[in-house]
Each structure stands twice: as C-alpha cells, then as structure tokens.
Amino acid sequence: MSSRIGAAQKGLYNLTVMWTFFHKLGSPPWLYGIAGAIVRWLLPLTILALLVGAAWGLLFTSPDFRQGNSYRIIYIHVPSAVVALAGYYVMAIAGAVSLIWRMKMADVAMKAAAPVGAALTFIALFTGALWGKPTWGTWWEWDARITSMLILLFLYLGVVALYEAFDNKEAAGRACAILSLVGMVNIPIIYKSVDWWYSLHQPASIKFSGESAIDSSMLYPLLLMIGAFYALFTCCLLMNMRAELLQRESRTAWVRRLVKPDGPR
Amino acid sequence: MYFDSVQAALSMDGHGSFVWVAYFVTLLIISAVLLLPGLRRRRLLRQVATELARQESGYATREGPR
C-alpha cells in the first residue's frame, strides 16, 4: 500500500516537473536565457566539428574509385540535405503547435527555422550542381529528387516571405503554419524520389538497417559532418529565436532589465 | 594526409575547382547564418538602450531632477 502511495506521489511529482517545464517553455525570459546557455557551449563544439569534419573529408580520405575526388562534396552535400529535411519537420511541427494550442513560442520557433532551412537547402542544391557537373556532365537535371528539393527551398522562402507580407503578425503566423503543414506532402516525395523514379541521382548509401554501401573510412567523417550540421541547425534556430524574442518583447520589463539591470522595475 | 603536395590538394586531379568552390560557398553561407542572428540581437538591444535613455532624459526635463 505504502509503495503504491509512493508511486502515486512520484507520478504526481513527475507530472509537476513536466508541467513546470511546459509552463517555463512558454516564458520568453526563461527561453531566452536557456537558449543562450545552450548556444554558449554548443556553438564552439559545432564549429570545431565542422572544421574537423571538413578537413577530414577534404584531405584525409581516399578518393572514390569511380568518381575520383569530386565525391568529397558528399561531406557537405548529404549533411546539408539531411538537416534541411529534418529542419522542415521542426518548422512544420512548431507551426502545428502554434496553430492548435496558440503557443506563442512555437510561432517564434517556426519563424526562426525557416531562414536556416532555406540556407541549408540552398547549400544542398548548390553543392549538388557542382558535384553533378564532373560526375553526370550536367549542372542541373529536372529529375524528381532535385525538383522536389527546389520546391523545399521555395517552401522555406515562402514562409519567410509570407511572414513579412502580413502586418498582423498573428495572421502571418497562422498563414505560415498552414503553408508549412501543406508543404509536408513534399517531404516523403523527397525521401522516396530516388527509389520511385530512376534518375541520375544515386539512392542513399547509408542505411539504418543492414550494411551501408559506403566504406567506413568514408562513413565516419560523413557521420561527423551530419552531426555537426544538426548542431549547426540547433544553434542557428536558438540564436534566431533569441533575436525574435527580443524584438517581440522589446517593451517588456525583462528586456529592459536585460539592457539596464539596475533600472526601474 | 591523402595528397602529396598543396598543388595536388588544390587541383584534386581536375576536380579541385568544383570541390573547393563548393566548400568555400558553404563556408560563406554558414558564416552568414551564424553571424546574422547575433548582429540582429545586438542591434535590438542597442535600440532598447537608446529608447530607455531617451525616456529617462524626457522624465528629467519634465519633472526636474529627482
């Protein structure tokens, strides 16, 4: 009996902790502070990982036996494309949360994710073109993978532009959330495009189940770069959120205290 | 190190220009997305500081020294 009461108490305690966490998540000063604390240690690690991964991929791996040295672009092309897709989930889920529960901080996250996702998608397309020229003999091919990635870029840019187009920021947030949710239909098409349609673009070499079709000497730097790009996205997302929070809350007491700690309360 | 010389690393058997341009442009874009939010945040903090200073001087002239 007493153990059951103990369990119930523990459950209640966990619930309280979770509730406090969600409650804090909705608090701009708390989010601003915690985001800053995360960026302070994650950003140096990110830059270090990016530099090590890039040097490893550029200078210390052997060339691909068929593609030669052009394959070294893989160390930025694949990570940027993978994280551009993951970033879309972040943006769309944040959009859904702000749409359903009217959570302001989710709207901040959605708006912060869009430009970072656009930058990563552009990197994937640009490096893909540079890789395509020496390997396929063409900069661009209107195949399913490349076209759907171009649509992803337009979706990201669309969210950025749509937000700016509205004077009423609440309406802007709703419109952007709906756009990003409708755009979700593009995501499985990007994933499956290389399997559904035969094209110049090769299917994925890394698989979660079974043997990867890539040598481990090439796999490790690639995994490092994928991790580094995820960290990069997280840092940029949090830094954009911090700037956005300051802008939205510039008239509040906590921002004023941030600027002038001994000022009037 | 895979390459024997700096020359070999730059040319990469003819693929060098593609590879290095890809990495260089990526470096530029990453630098931009890392630097811009911080610059925006600092600009906003400066604006708030200016606004606060303006308000305080306004109070001082209207109400006299406190």
B19 Cβ under 8 Å from any chain A Cβ? yes
> Is residue A131 within 8 Å of residue A70, measured between CB atoms?
yes
pLDDT digits (tens, 9 = 90+) for A77-128: 999 999 999 999 999 999 999 999 988 999 999 999 999 999 999 999 999 9
Query: Nearest 5 degrees, angle CA B24-CA B29-CA B30?
Result: 95
Is A3 inside any structural domain?
no
| Token duo for residue A77 | 């092309």
Please name the residue that has the structure tokens 């490893």: A56
Interface contact B23-A62, CB threshold 8 A: no
The mean pLDDT of A221-233, rounded to a whole number, is 96
CB pairs under 8 A between A and B: 110
Domain of residue A96 covers 31-259
Contact B34/A258, CB-based, under 8 Å?
no
Q: In angstroms, how far is CA A146 from the centroid of its own chain?
A: 19
Indicate yes or no: CB of B19 within 8 angstroms of CB of A73: yes
Which pLDDT belongs to residue A217? 84
Q: Which two tokens stand for residue A202?
A: 């090769």
Partners of B55 on chain A (C-beta within 8 Å) are none
Contact yes or no for B40 and A73 at CB 8 A: no
Report yes or no on A10 lying in a domain: no
ipTM score of the complex? 0.86
Class of residue B45 by CB neighbours under 10 A (exposed 0-12, middle 13-18, buried 19+): middle
The reported pTM is 0.88
Q: Which of A69, A242, A260 sits opposite B19 (nearest CB)?
A: A69
Residue A19 domain-assigned? no
Let me know if residue A203 belongs to a domain: yes
> Is A14 contained in some domain?
no
pLDDT the model gives residue A237: 97
Query: How does pLDDT run across B14-62, given as a tens digit for each residue?
Result: 888 899 999 999 999 999 999 999 999 999 999 999 988 888 887 655 5
d(CA A234, CA A185): 24
| Distance in angstroms (rounded) separating the CA atoms of residues A172 and A176 | 6
Q: From CA A57, how far away is CA A15, in angstroms rounded?
A: 46
For residue A240, is it within any domain?
Answer: yes
Dist CA A173 CA A166 (whole Å)? 9
* A106 falls within a domain: yes
Number of structural domains (chain A) is 1
Cα(A63)–Cα(A75) distance, rounded to whole angstroms? Answer: 12
**How much is the pLDDT for B36?**
96
Inter-residue contact B22 to A73 (CB < 8 Å):
yes
Decide if A242 contacts A250 (C-beta within 8 A): no
Beta bridge partners, A64, equal A68
Q: Give the residue extent of every domain in chain B.
A: 30-60
Mean pLDDT of chain A: 90
Q: Which residue has the higher pLDDT, A147 or A197?
A: A147
Taking only the tens place, the pLDDT of each residue in A82-95 is 999 999 999 999 99
